[in-house]
Structure 1
């Protein structure tokens, strides 16, 4: 009952926060922006409270089911967006990032919310698997921010090409900064995902004596890693910058989203 009340409160406050950021996006209303920011801060507190209560209720870390994974992903996105706003004041970034976070959390409503099966509980108590899941969720959060910066780059680039001058261009930020921040968060997310995949491979080998290399989610995870690796290679080695890299980063994130939801549909190994 308490969890349901907290969850409902999160949805209400999150919706109002997104609405506030949208109004600011359209009207450049700083007062509404400040209200939206504080509403988002309340969302963060409520999400943390939800995770703590669920941990106490089920006596385990809340990342073992599809619902919990999505919810934790959303909390990570909110956390990172609040931190970024503290240091960079990228209002539009907060709006775009939390559209994704809210979408993920909303989709989680349709996911199974109960406890995991005894068989799965036995498997997931291994600390190795917990770290594997946590690292991957953290990488998803950082890649989400990287995607948001690339989307802002894409929007800004097109506005400049069409010579649409105005306050909105200044608020989005210059292309060089957007590209640099997109690179930084990809640079953070890449080793997190790499370590997460490596730990997943080790866990599968220790637990089952085999690794499901041809499982569709495993294959798509390597594809995601390859695309982000290609992005970093183009940036660091080839010294490339600009519009094409922003598109590559956007494409990589779309593949990541497909990969994230594969476990519910096509994967025979990653069954939550």
Structure 2
């Protein structure tokens, strides 16, 4: 009975989330402050519900739920909703919030329709705080890299609009190119160190726990390559050798590598959990 009630509550949360996205879409085209406020408060209700589900799951599993792919998807979706609320309150940028909420909705629905994975994939003996922190930091870095991707796409859209001199009231709520570039840079500055810490913690846990571990692993190599690429992008941007369109395209392509490494790298890896 409790499981059925929780499922229905989760389905209601997804419906509310879908309604908020529709309202954000209407507001963007018609600029209705009342509709925008309603969309924000609905997203806030969704965040509260999702947080409650998250805490209940932690109490049930007696650990931070990130050890399976589905658990990671839920944590990632929660992070995206949290970021969208923060952006709405602090930066007040409508289109990035709309795009981030669309991504969050996609992952919330993936979690809804995915099969249950309540079992521990490694067994209790192999789980440690280090492993949980490693995965949590990785998902945090993926969320910030997602922000980098969203802002990079927006930069390309705004640049094209300005170049063709088609700037209208529809696009008046977009931030400036300078602001978008600053947010791209800030996202990488936060995400890449988190990603590097995640890699180090994962390697440390693996060497301490798994026998016969080889660093010649697809996921390890791919992760280090991504870290180095983001680092190079930051350095070149800092020196003024990579900016504007090239800076945005470099971040978009690198994010695609992150996605490929996440799915394909995990499949080819000898020890990673998420398959």
Q: State the TM-score, normalized to the length of structure 2.
A: 0.91
Change (3 A) 1:60 1:117: same
Counterpart check, 1:84 vs 2:87: yes
Residue in 1 that maps onto 2:193: 191
Counterpart check, 1:244 vs 2:211: no
Residue in 2 that maps onto 1:67: 70
- Structure 2 CA distance, aligned partners of 1:40 and 1:216? 38
How do residues 157-172 of structure 1 correspond to structure 2 at under 5 angstroms?
157-172=159-174
Unaligned residue ranges in structure 1 (runs of 5+): none
- Structure 1 CA distance, aligned partners of 2:113 and 2:219? 21
Q: State the TM-score, normalized to the length of structure 1.
A: 0.92
Would the aligned equivalents of 1:212 and 1:218 in 2 still touch at CA under 8 Å? no
Counterpart check, 1:36 vs 2:18: no
Would the aligned equivalents of 1:153 and 1:179 in 2 still touch at CA under 8 Å? yes
**Equivalenced residues, count:** 271
Would the aligned equivalents of 1:149 and 1:182 in 2 still touch at CA under 8 Å? yes
Would the aligned equivalents of 2:67 and 2:273 in 1 still touch at CA under 8 Å? no
Residue in 2 that maps onto 1:45: 48
Residue in 2 that maps onto 1:233: 235
Counterpart check, 1:149 vs 2:151: yes
Report the 3-state secondary structure (helix = DSSP H, G, I; strand = E; otherwise coil) of the residue aligned with 1:171.
coil
- Structure 2 CA distance, aligned partners of 1:271 and 1:49? 26
Post-superposition shift, 1:209?
4.5
Residue in 1 that maps onto 2:138: 136
Q: After the TM superposition, which of the residue ranges 43-52 and 223-232 deviates more from structure 2?
A: 223-232
Post-superposition shift, 1:33?
1.6
Would the aligned equivalents of 1:135 and 1:196 in 2 still touch at CA under 8 Å? yes
Change (3 A) 1:174 1:118: closer
Would the aligned equivalents of 1:129 and 1:200 in 2 still touch at CA under 8 Å? yes
Unaligned residue ranges in structure 2 (runs of 5+): none
Counterpart check, 1:206 vs 2:208: yes
